[in-house]
Amino acid sequence: MTEIVQKHFVTFLSPGTFVAEEDTKAISTWNVAKAKSMAEDVKQRYGAVPYAFYFTTRTRGPDDLDSKVTATSPTYYLHCRVETIEEIEARNLPAERILRSNMRGNGWNKVVVTTRGYKWTQPLRDGDVVL
């Protein structure tokens, strides 16, 4: 091999038992509209549907045995709403005691919560996009 080879992928994240389920598929470009459309056909264990996706580019050079991730996009959230720590603390629900503690302890000001499929909560990081 004498050339650099690049390929793009989209990884869909769905609620899992303890951690997110991942499903990675090839995609021609980092196209958000195309990825949103592809997400409609992704089903994980127990019928879980994606709450988010992100893109990666893998590259392999002439001296590389295997490819490596050379670029990663922000995470794009689907069917989610944003909640702030102030809103969650104001509700003061007993079921959200651990969430409040985790948010304070980890310095998370905002989380995203799914509005479709299984309930799932994730910290919203700088640069992430809620569609």
- The span from the CA of 106 to the CA of 94, in Å, is 19
pTM, rounded to two decimals: 0.89
pLDDT at 65: 84
> What's the rounded Cα separation, in Å, for the pair 41 and 34?
12
Predicted confidence at residue 3, as pLDDT, reads: 86
pLDDT in tens, 1-28: 568 899 999 999 999 988 999 999 999 9
pLDDT in tens, the chain (131 residues): 568 899 999 999 999 988 999 999 999 999 999 999 999 999 988 889 999 999 999 999 888 888 999 999 999 999 999 999 999 999 999 999 999 999 999 999 999 999 998 999 999 999 999 99
Q: According to the model, what pLDDT value does residue 31 have?
A: 98
Answer yes or no: are the C-beta atoms of 27 and 38 closer than 8 Å: yes
pLDDT at 64: 85
SS3 per residue for 96-122: HHHHHHHHHHHCCCEEEEECCCCCCEE
Q: Which residues, 6 or more positions from 53, have their beta carbon under 8 angstroms from its beta carbon?
A: 10, 11, 12, 13, 35, 39, 75, 76, 78
